[in-house]
Amino acid sequence: MEKLFFLMFAAVAIASGLAVVTVRNPVHSALALIVCLIQVAALFVLLRSPFLAAVQIFIYVGAVMVLFLFVVLILDMRKAVLQAFPPVKKRFVVGVILVLSAQMVAFVFLTPMGLGPAQGWEPTVESIGRVLFTKYLFPFEVVSVILLAALVAAIVIAKERQ
């Protein structure tokens, strides 16, 4: 039963992921990305991590993608809609990508997966918070500095200067 759900979510995720890059209209692309992110959230639920699933939807679908759409809607996309995908002259690139991805899939299936699921650790909100502030305290703080730096960088780039 669980396997069935996994295959369903995974298949939709891959299909919508492909749609993101192949669909011509940027708005449809964004929509496909939303679908893809929701499927990933569903996979988190299957992995017994409802917290991560909720956060995934909250942050990616609820905030990041809204901003994406916001920007896309402001742009003039009549040109983008008219362009053929993949670009006609570079169709052979698609072939190369297909071969490479087939190779990657083969690599994945050829490798025996030794490690089982992590034991004795429930991904509850409490335990996630606990490791974030103990074992992973240093990376956690570095992330906060990165966010601040990114904020400053974005403002510097976007702000009108006199």
Partner 1 sequence: MNSEVAAFFSPGDFLAILPEMVIAGMACLLLLVDIAVPRTKKCVVPALAVLSVAVAAWFSYELAGSGVSAFSGMFVLDGYSDFFKLIFYIVAVFAILVSLRYIRTEEIDLGEYYVLLLFSLSGMMIMASGTDLLTIYLGLELASLPVYALVGFLQKSRKSNEAAMKYIILGAFSSAILLYGISLIYGLTGTTQLAAISAALVTGDVNGPLFTLAVIMLVAGFGFKVAGFPFHMWAPDAYEGAPTPITAFMAAGPKAAAFAVIMRVFLEGLYPAYDSWQMAIAAVAVGSMVVGNITAILQTSIKRMLAFSSVGHAGYALLGLVAGSEEGMASVMFYLFVYAFMNLGIFGIVIMMRKDSQSGDQISHYTGLGKSNRLTALAMLIFLFSLAGIPPTAGFIAKFYVFMALINKGMVGLAVIAALMSAVAAYYYIRIVMLMYMREPEKEFALASSRGLLCVLIIALAAVVALGVYPGYFIDLARYAAFPL
Partner 2 sequence: MPDTAILLEVLVIVVKVSVICGILFGLPLPLTWLERKVAGHIQVRLGPWRVGPHGVLQPFADMVKLLIKEDIVPDRADKFLFKLAPLLSMIPAFLVFVAIPFGEKFAIPFIGNEITLYISDMNVGILYILAIGGLGIYGMILGGWASNSKYSLLGGLRSSAQMISYEVSMSFAAIGVVMLTDSLNLLEMVRSQSGSFLDWNIFYLPVGPVWFVIFMISALAEINRIPFDLPEDEGTLAAGFHTEYSGMRFSFFMLAEYVAMVTIAVLTVVMFLGGWNPPLDISIFHLVPPIFWFLGKVVLFIYFFMWLRFTLPRYRYDQLMAIGWKVLIPLSLVTILVTGLMKI
- By CB under 8 A, what part of segment 76-115 binds partner 2? none
Nearer to partner 1, 63 or 141 (CB): 141
For 144-156, b/e burial (b = at least 16 CB within 10 A) is eeeeeeeeeeeee
Cα(5)–Cα(145) distance, integer angstroms: 39
Q: Give the DSSP letter of residue 118.
A: P
CB of 34 to partner 2, least distance (A): 7
CA-based torsion, 51, 56, 61, 67: positive or negative: positive
Nearer to partner 2, 91 or 130 (CB): 130
- The partner in contact with residue 107, picked from partner 1, partner 2, none with C-beta cut-offs of 5 to 8 angstroms by kind, is partner 1
CB of 148 to partner 2, least distance (A): 14
27 binds partner 2 (CB under 8 A): yes
CA-based torsion, 76, 81, 85, 90: positive or negative: negative
Which residues form the interface with partner 2 (CB under 8 A)?
A: 25, 27-28, 31, 34, 50-51, 54-55, 57-58, 61-63, 66-67, 69-70, 73-74, 124-125
